[in-house]
Structure 1
Amino acid sequence: MYPPAALLFAVLAGQGRALSSQLEYAPLRVRCELGLWHEGEHADHVWDWPDGMAPPLWARWDTGGAMRFESRPWCETEGGPDGDACTLYRDHAREHSWNVLDPETESLRRRALAESAQLMKRLGRKRD
């Protein structure tokens, strides 16, 4: 018997079966990997099918929130700073993965800059 999440992934992606052990690293939430503040459809890699039985599974949704799951092959375009291949799906819109800002990292960077600016301002004040 399949756990509900495994069955849902298998049905939505058109696959015959998926075992709960294969879903151990499947995310519980999705976050767009195509960059910050972009127009159009969003996408997030969900997981890789075991033994390459199909291309990786991607969650895709529009601004209205309608989500679908698709098995799509990797982009594989090379050219990142370390010569790595793009980690998005083939024929994705917008930039390749090495040019995309991660929303959580960008948020943390902005918060750190703001906090360090406040700290520098306090340290720069004349002491009474």
Structure 2
Amino acid sequence: MRQCEATTHVPPAGLLVAILAGQGRVLGSELAYTPPRVRCELGHGHDGEHADHVWDWDHKPTHALWAHWTTAQPLRFESLPWCEAIGGVDQDACTLYWDHVAPHAWDLHDPVTEALRRLVITEHDQKPD
């Protein structure tokens, strides 16, 4: 299934407050890894809010900070446990949060990555031998 393509801007101050509320401190250098925009990681056409992982907790590896939003509601942050499902061809762990809407991460395909893959294959097939 194709991954959702919804995106939104991340307010840096709001993300910093969410991180500080969750772990109490953050180094300035770590903030270089925070995203300026988020892109929904759920399946295309899903119900409910969009969601994207934005931060791994230092003190709680079983949880992560997620951004949630809709077109009608502003971005909000929530600490959620990781999905515990294992599956797919390679028996990978799902990289979404617990109790997310179906499908699991291993069944989702990023349309941008897929387009680049097709472009590389096309260019490779067009090269003279």
Q: Distance in 2 between matches of 1:33 and 1:82?
A: 20
Report what 1:91 is aligned to. 99
Q: Report the AA paired with residue 88 of structure 2.
A: G
Runs (4+) of structure 1 exceeding 3 A deviation are: 106-110
Q: Report the AA paired with residue 45 of structure 1.
A: H
Q: Report the AA paired with residue 52 of structure 1.
A: K
Greater shift, 45-54 or 91-100, is seen at: 45-54
Query: Which of 76, 83, 87 lines up with 1:75 in the alignment?
Result: 83
Task: Summarize the Cα distance change of 1:49–1:24 in structure 2 as closer, same or farther, 3 Å threshold.
Answer: farther
Q: Does 1:23 align with 2:31?
A: yes
Q: Distance in 2 between matches of 1:54 and 1:80?
A: 21
Greater shift, 98-107 or 85-94, is seen at: 98-107
Q: Tell me how far 1:107 sits from its aligned partner.
A: 4.2
Question: Which is higher, the Rg of structure 1 or of structure 2?
Answer: 1
SS at match of 1:98: helix
Q: From the two aligned structures, give the one with the greater strand fraction.
A: 2
Q: Aligned-pair RMSD on alpha carbons?
A: 3.0
Q: Distance in 2 between matches of 1:54 and 1:76?
A: 10
Which structure 2 segments of 5+ residues have no match? 1-10
SS at match of 1:105: helix
Equivalent residue pairs, number: 112
Report what 2:71 is aligned to. 63
Report what 1:8 is aligned to. 14
Give % identity.
55
Task: Summarize the Cα distance change of 1:109–1:39 in structure 2 as closer, same or farther, 3 Å threshold.
Answer: farther
Structure 1 length normalisation: TM-score?
A: 0.69
Report what 1:126 is aligned to. none
Q: Report the AA paired with residue 17 of structure 1.
A: R
Structure 2 length normalisation: TM-score?
A: 0.69
Q: Tell me how far 1:65 sits from its aligned partner.
A: 4.7
SS at match of 2:82: coil
Please list the CA deviations of residues 80-107 of structure 1 after superposition, one character each: whole Å capped at 9, or x if unmatched: 2211110000010120000112132244
Q: How does 1:94-105 map to 2 (within 5 A)?
A: 94-105=102-113
